[in-house]
Amino acid sequence: MAAEAVTAASLCNFSGSNVGSSTRPPLRCFLLSPSTSLRRHHLHQQRSLTSSFVGAQRLTPSKSTSHFQKRNLSVFAMAATEDSKRGVPLKDYRNIGIMAHIDAGKTTTTERVLFYTGRNYKIGEVHEGTATMDWMEQEQERGITITSAATTTFWNKHRINIIDTPGHVDFTLEVERALRVLDGAICLFDSVAGVEPQSETVWRQADKYGVPRICFVNKMDRLGANFFRTRDMIVTNLGAKPLVLQLPIGAEEVFKGVIDIVRMKAIVWSGEELGAKFSYEDIPSDLQELSEEYRALMFDTIVDLDDEVMEAYLEGVEPDEETVKRLIRKGTIGGSFVPVLCGSAFKNKGVQPLLDAVVDYLPSPLDVPPMVGTDPDHPEIEIERVASDDEPFSGLAFKIMNDPFVGSLTFVRIYAGKLAAGSYVLNSNKGKKERIGRLLEMHANSREDVKVALAGDIVALAGLKDTVTGETLCDPEKPIVLERMDFPDPVIKVAIEPKTKADVDKMANGLIKLAQEDPSFHFSRDEEINQTVIEGMGELHLEIIVDRLKREFKVEANVGAPQVNYRESISRVAEVKYVHKKQSGGQGQFADITVRFEPLEAGSGYEFKSEIKGGAVPREYIPGVVKGLEESMSNGVLAGYPVVDVRAVLTDGSYHDVDSSVLAFQLAARGAFREGVRKAAPKILEPIMRVEVVTPEEHLGDVIGDLNSRRGQINSFGDKPGGLKVVDSLVPLAEMFQYVSTLRGMTKGRASYTMQLAKFDVVPQHIQNQLSAAKEEAVTA
């Protein structure tokens, strides 16, 4: 199977020197970004805004909520009072993720973290395909991490929950999901490749969710490793402010360890095998001056965060280690800067200090703003949940996985309160109760049944029936809907058919399960062409779905050619009067409506509004109009694609005392839609992808020529270390199928690309004609 990106390793066959990048720290004295409190206030507001926006869109749960509340109150209360003694105080929790570009070493680093925290008994190497985090078969075969598995581990009496996040662009939704439930993150970079395109995407996503980060410059042992260049790229490519807390001792094959700028000590590893010992030593004399410069720079940066410390510092008193750590922690959590560390996960150097930094600098659930949700029955009312065991139970389901042993597992981040096995909770999005069968704490290669989970925990629940990703589970007595995630609509689809008739039910069952796990995956039955269609975020995404059908659900399927998810919309306002009349024999049908169709901003979807006055269309018939219009919206007039960004306003109409009915108005609405949309200058829209290609300079001409031939629009060019060029472009998705093979062929496998949805735009007229003709052909066939 073709992966959509070529590995970073294959790009970087240049020899490493520090060309163009100074080891010296940049000039001191720079302005800090907005103060901690300001930023947190902003973040808080941002979360609140999102939640009220989402709340307004959400369907209100049915009345059964309150009935259910009464019935199950006692069960919940009983279960929650069971033994729930907290082993680790909440302030010592770290819920973190590891984010990176593909192949930067996320899986290896996670594996090492699990080894050094003592939970991983037998370590797996990624290249041998046995890494324990990659527990799905095809991940092992492909050597890429697709799903986020949550793993609990312990370091220095701190409980660290790690959520593994995927690096591949087709799985950005997984990254978003993980970011939602994290309190902090490690951002990994390959010290040879520096900041790569996918890291930029993930970095922006982390900005969106206000996730504090520390950076780990990995692979310092590789040929071409360059710590300082990566630090510079954190400034130029990510617009972030790095705070260098470690300097490498050597690089490439003579990489020995790191200098700890906080303690002013060298940390040197005795070997490179798993479990190699390290010792604190004096800083090598050739690095003494540089270390002092970076220490001074660190002081300059952190003292700004505390007036008293600043005053003392200006008078020549350096803050002590405890104060330094406190201020680094404050600045990291407040987003003033990002600590930068380095090492080689593969060669077992730098992992323990990285774990110390997670504990020292990343936030606990108490350090981030309280979770804000809404009242299920009154979405306009906001409710806050402080991270505490004493608050009502509130948790968010962020991942569903099919486990071969336990069945379906729902991963939940508990924001507040306690959750007991055997208790009942409320799924407040659906207004349905769920019984908690088993509560499992997940480790990389083992799972532990626990009786009670507490605020801050990430646990897997077995036995839930109705809950899907993104939904809230809460105390039935104190219902809350936490923010829902926005899931992008799929951009690509393929027809799929089981190879044997006997597999029809099995396939349907598999598709239902997979769609529950992954909200960016949709499937539907197209009765017109008698086919099942699956939709997703990219070719690889759908290939993996088909692969999982085969492996997990034992369904062999034939798959059609991928197709783009086009949309239809209108360009101008048009009003139409439509009369539906049938009055020959028996009961007649009569409905008369006037509807105005108005174009809306991109991304607005579809809206209906009634401006009927004086009962021109009686109230009981309006649902008929709504239904008729809604049905038509899924089938545009040009080529049958869903219609978006349109408001339909019912402005006038008339009815007949005997012959009018809901059905007659429904049929009139369909007619009004057909005529009205035709008058409103309909258009077909296509997904346009932002495509970023990184290529050696000698292939730049070919890459650009090829993008142009794909209707691409080149936005900008840039330089990357090692004579690489970056081309930033917008290309219609329809032109990007199998791009990976073309790019490989054209550049001898030395270029890579990333791609994500940028916008929907109007297709050229000749393509519109082709799509309309194809639709007509399919209907007449």
**Residues lying near ligand GTP in the complex (CB under 6 A):** 100, 102-108, 126-127, 143-145, 167, 218-219, 221-222, 344-347
Q: In terms of CB distance, is 105 or 653 closer to ligand GTP?
A: 105
H-helix or E-strand spanning residue 233: helix 227-236
Q: Is 485 annotated as a binding residue?
A: no
Nearest CB to ligand GTP, comparing residues 130 and 583: 130
Comparing CB distances to ligand GTP, the nearer of 367 and 518 is 518
Say whether 298 counts as a known binding-site residue. no
Strand 606-610 and strand 646-654: pairing? parallel
- DSSP β-bridge partners for residue 461: 410, 439
In angstroms, what is the minimal distance from the CB of 56 to ligand GTP?
Answer: 36
Cβ–Cβ under 8 Å, residues 284 and 266: yes
Exposure string (b/e) for 743-781, b if CB count within 10 Å is 16 or more?
Answer: bbebbeebbbbbbbbbebeebeeebbeebbeebeeeeee
Is 63 a known ligand-binding residue?
Answer: no
Q: Is 102 annotated as a binding residue?
A: yes
221 or 543: whose CB is closer to ligand GTP? Answer: 221
Query: Residue holding tokens 């990976």?
Result: 740
6 or 555: CB nearest ligand GTP: 6
Q: Which residue, 222 or 699, is less far from ligand GTP as judged by CB?
A: 222
| Residue placing its CB nearer to ligand GTP in the complex, 108 or 152 | 108
Pair of tokens at residue 419: 């959750």
Of 208, 281, 268, 237, nearest to 101 by C-alpha is 237
34 is an annotated ligand-binding site residue: no
Buried b (16+ CB within 10 A) or exposed e, 432-458: bbbebebbbbbbbeebeebebbbbbbb
Does residue 103 have a known ligand-binding role?
yes
Q: Which is nearer to ligand GTP, 221 or 568 (CB)?
A: 221
Closest to ligand GTP by CB, 144 vs 638, is 144
d(CA 588, CA 580): 10
User: Is 100 known as a binding-site position?
Assistant: yes
Nearer CB in complex with ligand GTP: 170/471? 170
* In the complex, least distance from residue 432 CB atom to ligand GTP, rounded to whole angstroms: 36
Task: Provide the minimum distance between the beta carbon of 596 and ligand GTP in the complex, in angstroms, as a whole number.
Answer: 50
CB of 4 to ligand GTP, least distance (A): 12
| Rounded least distance, CB 103 to ligand GTP, Å | 4
Q: Is 510 helix (H, G, I), strand (E, B) or coil?
A: helix
Closest Cα to residue 176, out of 359, 365, 396, 5? 396
The minimum distance between CB 3 and ligand GTP, in angstroms, equals 9
Helices 172-181, 197-208: crossing angle, 10 deg rounding: 40
- C-alpha closest to that of 480 among 562, 378, 362, 369: 378
Handedness of CA 117, 122, 124, 125 (dihedral sign): positive
256 annotated among ligand-binding-site residues? no
**Pairwise CA distance, residues 164 & 742, whole Å:** 31
What 3-state DSSP class applies to 683? strand
Beta strands in 611-722 (DSSP E): 646-654, 682-696, 713-720
Shortest CB 162 distance to ligand GTP, Å:
13
DSSP 67-114: HHHHHHHHHHHHHHTS----SS-GGGEEEEEEEESTTSSHHHHHHHHH
Closest CA to 253 of 15, 474, 69: 15
Known binding residue 558? Answer is no
Closest CB to ligand GTP among residues 150, 684: 150
- Residue 105 annotated as part of some ligand binding site: yes
Shortest separation between residue 272's beta carbon and ligand GTP, angstroms: 10
Torsion sign over Cα 757, 759, 764, 769: positive
Nearer to ligand GTP, 251 or 305 (CB): 251
- Quote the CA–CA distance of 435 and 79 in Å, as a whole number: 11
Q: Whose Cβ is closer to ligand GTP: residue 353's or residue 712's?
A: 353
CA atoms within 13 A on the CB side of 402: 19
Least separation in angstroms between CB 214 and ligand GTP: 17
Closest approach of ligand GTP to the CB of residue 218, in Å: 5
Asked whether residue 310 is marked as a ligand-binding residue, the answer is no
What's the Cα-to-Cα distance from 621 to each of 10, 612, 634, 656, 693, rounded to whole Å?
Answer: 65, 12, 21, 11, 55
From CA 636, how far away is CA 620, in angstroms rounded? 27
**167 in a known ligand binding site:** yes
Residue 164 among known ligand-binding residues: yes
CB of 547 to ligand GTP, least distance (A): 16
CB of residue 344 to ligand GTP, shortest distance in Å: 4
Rounded to a whole number of angstroms, the CA Rg of the chain reads 29
Smallest gap, in angstroms, from Cβ of residue 129 to ligand GTP? 10
- What is residue 45's three-state secondary structure? helix
DSSP structural state of residue 388: -
- 218 is an annotated ligand-binding site residue: yes
| Residues 707/753, Cβ–Cβ less than 8 Å | no
Give the C-alpha separation, 365 to 94, whole Å.
7
**Where is the binding site for GTP, in residues?**
100-107, 164-168, 218-221
**Where is the binding site, in residues?**
100-107, 164-168, 218-221
